[in-house]
C-alpha cells in the first residue's frame, strides 16, 4: 500500500506541473555534472597555458599535453594509424584515421591496451549494416608524406575525391588534425588543445578520488548516488570550423536554427552548453540549450562556398560548447605563416563514456553532405502513405463511442483525416497490449468501421511494463530474464511510471528485442488488426522516481554494460523493435508506422518523431519552426510538433494559425493534454472551422508532392523541409533565417506566428527568380523584400519559378480514398520559361516498389512543351507490370501553366 500511495503522490506531482514551467531543479546543469566540470577545468588550464605560451612566442599557440609517439605513424591500407599520449599520464591511445568513399574521414580513439573494454556497440546499432559494409577509399588513392616544418613533424595524407581537392594533416607535438578542402582549412581537431581522454584505471583507496579528480568514482545529484564502478572514462575534443560563422543541427533543443554561442559571451549567448541526453521534460523552456527528448550528434557548418559536417558517434551523455571567433590559429599551429583572419566556430564535444568515434563530412554542397551522411546512417525510407495525412489525437479519447463520434464529426464537416489516436487510458490499467473492455468492448469492430473509409488507428505502447504477476507480458519477460537489471546486476531494475511499479525490457538484448517485436503480431496483440499502428512514448526512458526523471546510470544492461553507455539509443532500440514487429506481422511484409518521442541518429529508419510536450501559446508556435528544421538538418526528416500545443487551451486564432503552419510539418498531428478542453477542428465554430478545414485540405491536395519528396529523401538523404540557406547557399542574409522555410525545393512557406492576426508579414523572396502565390498565382520577381497582409484567411505560400508541382484536386475523406484519383500538374515557369519536377507513385504500403512496382516520371517544360520521361530507376519486372495494371485508370487530368509571358492558345497531347 505504501508503494501505491507513493506512486499516486508522484503522479499528482507530475500532473500539477501542467500549468507551470519546467522544474529546473529536476535536471542537471553543466556545473552539476562531474565529467563536464573536469573537462572544463582542463580546458581552462590549457587556455591559461596557451596564453602564456603565446606571450612568450608572440603568436597564438596551443598548450595541449597530448603528442604523437615517435615513429608510430603509418598508413595501413585505408587507415592512418598513430599512437598519442598525454605527457604526464603515459597511457598510449591508439588513433585510427580511416578514409572512406566520398571524402568522409573517420577518427576513432581509445586506449591502446585498455584495462577493460569500452562500450563500442553504438556503431553496430547506428551505422548502415552495423558499419560492416562502409565503403572505404582504395589504398592506391591515398598517399602519405611526412616533413619537418620549423622543427616539428607534420604528416599529410593526400587523397582523391570527385568533389574536393582534399588532404588531412596531422602534427605530432602537439597532436592536431586539420582537414584541408580545396586548399582551405575546413575542420580542425584539437587546434585549441582541449582534447582530453580519461583512461580507464583501477579504483584507488578509500578516498575514492584519482589524482584529485572531481566526482570520478561517485557522484550525487539530489537524493540519487551514481556509484560509477568503472571510474572516470570520459573524453573531450575541440572541433573548429574555419571560415564559417554558422553551425546547425545537434537536436533536440528549443533553440534557434543557427546555434548560439555558449562561451565567450556575445549577443544572445547561452550560459550553458548544448546538452545531448534524452529526457522527459514537462512543458520545456524555450530558447534554451537544455536537453530534451532526442539526441542526434550531427552538426553542419555552412558558408557561401561550402557545407561540411561532423558526426560524433556516441550514445552517452554529451555536452557541446560553441564559441565564435574572428581569427584562426591555423597558421601558427603549422608554422605556415600568419594566422588567417577568417571567422571561425569552435566547438568542444565532451562525452561521458564509450569510444571516441568522429566522422568528418566534406560536402561541399548540401546535397553532397547528405549523400555522405546517408552512406553512414541510411536514408529515411518511404513511409506508409497514410502517415503523411492528418492525425487526430488527444490524451485521451474516452471510449469506443467517442472515437467513432470523432470519426463521424470529421466526415460530417468534410475534413479529411487518416488516423485517430488512443493514449494510455485505452488500456486495462496501463497494461500495454490490452484494452479496457468497459470502454472498448469491441476494438476490432471499431477498427473495421474506421477502415471502411480508409482510416487507421494508433495506440500508445510505452516501454515500461506494469509489475503484475497476472499480466502475461510482464510474466513472460520476467521468466525469460528480459528486463534491465539493477546496479548489482541480479534483480530487475524497478521504477515508477504510469502503471505504478514497473520494469523495462532490455532492448540491447537481441532476444528480448525480438520477443517484444513478436508481441505486436496479430496473434499476440489481442484486438489489433492490420489497420492498427503504434506510438512509442516515454522511451527516453522516463522513470518518475529516477534521477532527472530517467534511469540510474549505473544499472545494468545485456552484456553487463551500464545504462550510461547507451542512454541516448535506448529509445531508438525500442522504436526499432516496434517497427520490426509491425513490419513482420503480415505476409508479405508491409511498411510499419511508429511514432517515437525519443530518438538518435538512425531513428529515421524506423518511423516518425515529434518535438514533445509543447504549450498552447504563440511562443511555442514560433519555436516549432527551428525545432523541426534542426531535426531535418540532422537527418531526422519525418518530424512534427503537436498542433495546437499539448499543454493549455489555445485561442481560436492560435489554433487556426497552428493548423496553417502544421500542414507544412512532415508529420502532421494535432494533440492535447488530458486536462485541456476539447479542440477538434469543429469545436471553434465559424469562421475558424472553415480556415482549419481549408488548411487540412491543402495538405491533402499536395500529398503527391509530399510523397515524391519522401521518395527523394529515401534516395538522396536530402531533408524534406529545408532552411533557406540550403536552397540558397550564397544568400548570406538567409544563413540564420528560421521564421520561413522551404518544403523541398519548390515551395516557400512564410507562416504567420503573431497574436495580431492582421499584422503584415515581412517576406524575403530570394534569388533572381519568379515566385508565385501558390493559390492566386500572383507573380513576384525576386530578389524582393516587402510586407504582405496575412489575416486568418490568408497564408503566405509561394511556388518557386522553374518548378512543377503535382497535386490531387478532388477532396476525399482520407488519403486511401484519393489513391486512384487523377493528377494535376502545376507548371510554374522560370524567368527563362522552363520548369522541372518529378512525380512518384507506388502502392503506399508494401515493399514491392523495391522490385520495380512504382511509377516515377521526370517532368520538364521548355519551349512551351511539357515532357514526361520514366526515371532511370524504372525497371521492368512482374511486380511493375502488376502495379501498372492496377494504376491504369490513373491519369493526368490537367496541366496548369503559370507565368507564361504569352498566353497558351492550344495544347497538343
pLDDT in tens, 632-686: 999 999 999 999 999 999 999 999 999 999 999 999 999 999 999 999 999 999 9
Q: Specify the pLDDT at position 332.
A: 42
Percent pLDDT > 90 in the chain is 88
909 close to 895: Cβ distance less than 8 angstroms: no
Q: Which of 811, 799, 754 is nearest to 774 (CA)?
A: 799
What is the pLDDT at residue 794? 87
- For 248-255, what is the mean pLDDT? 98
593 close to 533: Cβ distance less than 8 angstroms? yes
Provide the angle, in degrees to the nearest 10, between the axes of the packed helices 366-377 and 703-716: 70
Please write the tens of the pLDDT for every residue from 389-443. 999 999 999 999 999 999 999 999 999 999 999 999 999 999 999 999 999 999 9
H helix intervals, 636-766: 652-662, 688-701, 703-716, 724-727
Under 8 Å CB-to-CB from 857, ≥6 apart: which residues?
Answer: 838, 839, 840, 868, 869, 870, 871
3-state secondary structure of 761: strand
**Coil, helix or strand for 673?**
coil
Rg (CA), the chain: 28
Pairing of strands 770-773, 390-392: unpaired
Segment 447-500, tens digit of pLDDT:
999 999 999 999 999 999 999 999 999 999 999 999 999 999 999 999 999 999
For 248-256, what is the mean pLDDT? 98
Q: Please write the tens of the pLDDT for every residue from 316-339.
A: 999 999 999 875 444 444 434 444
Each residue of 329-381: pLDDT tens digit?
444 444 344 445 789 999 999 999 999 999 999 999 999 999 999 999 999 99
Chain-centroid distance of CA 380 in Å reads 11
Please identify every residue annotated as catalytic: 537, 613
Where does the pLDDT of residue 909 fall: very low under 50, low under 70, confident under 90, or very high at 90 and above? low
d(CA 362, CA 349): 19
Question: Is pLDDT of 740 > 90?
Answer: yes
Average pLDDT on 102-123 reads 97
Gap between the Cα atoms of 901 and 833, Å rounded: 8
What confidence score (pLDDT) does residue 326 get? 73
Strand partners, 754: none
Query: Chain-centre distance of CA 401, in angstroms?
Result: 36
| The predicted structure's pLDDT at residue 13 | 37
> Can you say how many angstroms the Cα of residue 577 is from the centroid of all Cα atoms in its chain?
18
Which triple of cell numbers denotes residue 117?
573494454
Phi, psi of 292 (to 5 degrees): -125, -140
- pTM beyond 0.85: yes
- Taking alpha carbons only, the member of 37, 553, 10 closest to residue 277 is 553
Amino acid at each position: 500500500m505504501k508503494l501505491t500511495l507513493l506512486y499516486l503522490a508522484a503522479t499528482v506531482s507530475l500532473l500539477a506541473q501542467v500549468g507551470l514551467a519546467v522544474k529546473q531543479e529536476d535536471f542537471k546543469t553543466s556545473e552539476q555534472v562531474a565529467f563536464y566540470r573536469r573537462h572544463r577545468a582542463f580546458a581552462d588550464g590549457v587556455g591559461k597555458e596557451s596564453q602564456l605560451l603565446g606571450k612568450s612566442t608572440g603568436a597564438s599557440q596551443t598548450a595541449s599535453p597530448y603528442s604523437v609517439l615517435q615513429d608510430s605513424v603509418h598508413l595501413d591500407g585505408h587507415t592512418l594509424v598513430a599512437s598519442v599520449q598525454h605527457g604526464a599520464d603515459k597511457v598510449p591511445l591508439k588513433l585510427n584515421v580511416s578514409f572512406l568513399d566520398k571524402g568522409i574521414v573517420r577518427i576513432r580513439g581509445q586506449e591502446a591496451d585498455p584495462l577493460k573494454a569500452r562500450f563500442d556497440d553504438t556503431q553496430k546499432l547506428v551505422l548502415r549494416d552495423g558499419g560492416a559494409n562502409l565503403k572505404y577509399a582504395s589504398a592506391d588513392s591515398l598517399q602519405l608524406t611526412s616533413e619537418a616544418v620549423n622543427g616539428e613533424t607534420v604528416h599529410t595524407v593526400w587523397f582523391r575525391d570527385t568533389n574536393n581537392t582534399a588532404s588531412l594533416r596531422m602534427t605530432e607535438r602537439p597532436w592536431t588534425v586539420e582537414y584541408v578542402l580545396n586548399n582551405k582549412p575546413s575542420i580542425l581537431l584539437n587546434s585549441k588543445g582541449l582534447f582530453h581522454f580519461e583512461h580507464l584505471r583501477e579504483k584507488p583507496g578509500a578516498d575514492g578520488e584519482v589524482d584529485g579528480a572531481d566526482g570520478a568514482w561517485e557522484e550525487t545529484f539530489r537524493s540519487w548516488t551514481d556509484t560509477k564502478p568503472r571510474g572516470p572514462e570520459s573524453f573531450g575534443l575541440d572541433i573548429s570550423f574555419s571560415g564559417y560563422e554558422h553551425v546547425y543541427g545537434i537536436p533536440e533543443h528549443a533553440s534557434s536554427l543557427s546555434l548560439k554561442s555558449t562561451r565567450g559571451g556575445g549577443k544572445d549567448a547561452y550560459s550553458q552548453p548544448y546538452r545531448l541526453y534524452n529526457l522527459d521534460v514537462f512543458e520545456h523552456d524555450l530558447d534554451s540549450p537544455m536537453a530534451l527528448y532526442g539526441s542526434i550528434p550531427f552538426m553542419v557548418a555552412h558558408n557561401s562556398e561550402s557545407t561540411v559536417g561532423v558526426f560524433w558517434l556516441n550514445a552517452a551523455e554529451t555536452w557541446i560548447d560553441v564559441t565564435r571567433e574572428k581569427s584562426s590559429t591555423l597558421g601558427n599551429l603549422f608554422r605556415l605563416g600568419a594566422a588567417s583572419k577568417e571567422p571561425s566556430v569552435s566547438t568542444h564535444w565532451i562525452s561521458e563514456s564509450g569510444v571516441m568515434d568522429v566522422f568528418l563530412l566534406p560536402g561541399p554542397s548540401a546535397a553532397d553532405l547528405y549523400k555522405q551522411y546517408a552512406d553512414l546512417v541510411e536514408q529515411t525510407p518511404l513511409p506508409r502513405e497514410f502517415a503523411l495525412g492528418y492525425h487526430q489525437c488527444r490524451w485521451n479519447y474516452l471510449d469506443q463511442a467517442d472515437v467513432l463520434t470523432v470519426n463521424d464529426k470529421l466526415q460530417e464537416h468534410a475534413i479529411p483525416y487518416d488516423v485517430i489516436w488512443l493514449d494510455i487510458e485505452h488500456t486495462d490499467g496501463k497494461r500495454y497490449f490490452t484494452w479496457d473492455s468497459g470502454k472498448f468492448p469491441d476494438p476490432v469492430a471499431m477498427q473495421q468501421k474506421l477502415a471502411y473509409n480508409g482510416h487507421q488507428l494508433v495506440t500508445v505502447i510505452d516501454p515500461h511494463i506494469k509489475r503484475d504477476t497476472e499480466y502475461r507480458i510482464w510474466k513472460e519477460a520476467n521468466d525469460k530474464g528480459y528486463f534491465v537489471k539493477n546496479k548489482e546486476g541480479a534483480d530487475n531494475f524497478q521504477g515508477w511510471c504510469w502503471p505504478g511499479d514497473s520494469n523495462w525490457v532490455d532492448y540491447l538484448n537481441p532476444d528480448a528485442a525480438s520477443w517484444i517485436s513478436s508481441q505486436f503480431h496479430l496473434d499476440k496483440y489481442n484486438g489489433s488488426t492490420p489497420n492498427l499502428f503504434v506510438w512509442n512514448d516515454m522511451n527516453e526512458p522516463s522513470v518518475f522516481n529516477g534521477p532527472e526523471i530517467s534511469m540510474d546510470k549505473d544499472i545494468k544492461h545485456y552484456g553487463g554494460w551500464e545504462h550510461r553507455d547507451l542512454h541516448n539509443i535506448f529509445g531508438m532500440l525500442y522504436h526499432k523493435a516496434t517497427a520490426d514487429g509491425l513490419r513482420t506481422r503480415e505476409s508479405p511484409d508491409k511498411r510499419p508506422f511508429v511514432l517515437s518521442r525519443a530518438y538518435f541518429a538512425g531513428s529515421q529508419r524506423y518511423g516518425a518523431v515529434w518535438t514533445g510536450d509543447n504549450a498552447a501559446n504563440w511562443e511555442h508556435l514560433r519555436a516549432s519552426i527551428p525545432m523541426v528544421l534542426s531535426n531535418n538538418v540532422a537527418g531526422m526528416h519525418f518530424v512534427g510538433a503537436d498542433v495546437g500545443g499539448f499543454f493549455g487551451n489555445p485561442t481560436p486564432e492560435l489554433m487556426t494559425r497552428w493548423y496553417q503552419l502544421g500542414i507544412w510539418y512532415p508529420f502532421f498531428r494535432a494533440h492535447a493534454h488530458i486536462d485541456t478542453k476539447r479542440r477538434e477542428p469543429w469545436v471553434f465554430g465559424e469562421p475558424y472551422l472553415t480556415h482549419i478545414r481549408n488548411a487540412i485540405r491543402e495538405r491533402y491536395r499536395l500529398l503527391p508532392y509530399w510523397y515524391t519528396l519522401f521518395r527523394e529523401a529515401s534516395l538522396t538523404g536530402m531533408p524534406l523541409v529545408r532552411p533557406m540557406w540550403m536552397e540558397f547557399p550564397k544568400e548570406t542574409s538567409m544563413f540564420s533565417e528560421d521564421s520561413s522555410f522551404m518544403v523541398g525545393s519548390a515551395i516557400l512557406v512564410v507562416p504567420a506566428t503573431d497574436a495580431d492576426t492582421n499584422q503584415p508579414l515581412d517576406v524575403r523572396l530570394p534569388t533572381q527568380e519568379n515566385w508565385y502565390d501558390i493559390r492566386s498565382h500572383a507573380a513576384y520577381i525576386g530578389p524582393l523584400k516587402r510586407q504582405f497582409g496575412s489575416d486568418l484567411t490568408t497564408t503566405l505560400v509561394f511556388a518557386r519559378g522553374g518548378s512543377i508541382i503535382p497535386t490531387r484536386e478532388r477532396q476525399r475523406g482520407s488519403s486511401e480514398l484519393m489513391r486512384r484519383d487523377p493528377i494535376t500538374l502545376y507548371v510554374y515557369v522560370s524567368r527563362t520559361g522552363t520548369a522541372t519536377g518529378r512525380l512518384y507513385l507506388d502502392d503506399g504500403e508494401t515493399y514491392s516498389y523495391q522490385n520495380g512496382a512504382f511509377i516515377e516520371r521526370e517532368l520538364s517544360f521548355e519551349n512551351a512543351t511539357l515532357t514526361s520521361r520514366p526515371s532511370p530507376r524504372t525497371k521492368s519486372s512482374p511486380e511493375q507490370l502488376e502495379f501498372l495494371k492496377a494504376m491504369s485508370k490513373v491519369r493526368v487530368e490537367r496541366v496548369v501553366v503559370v507565368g507564361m509571358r504569352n498566353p497558351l492558345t492550344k495544347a497538343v497531347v
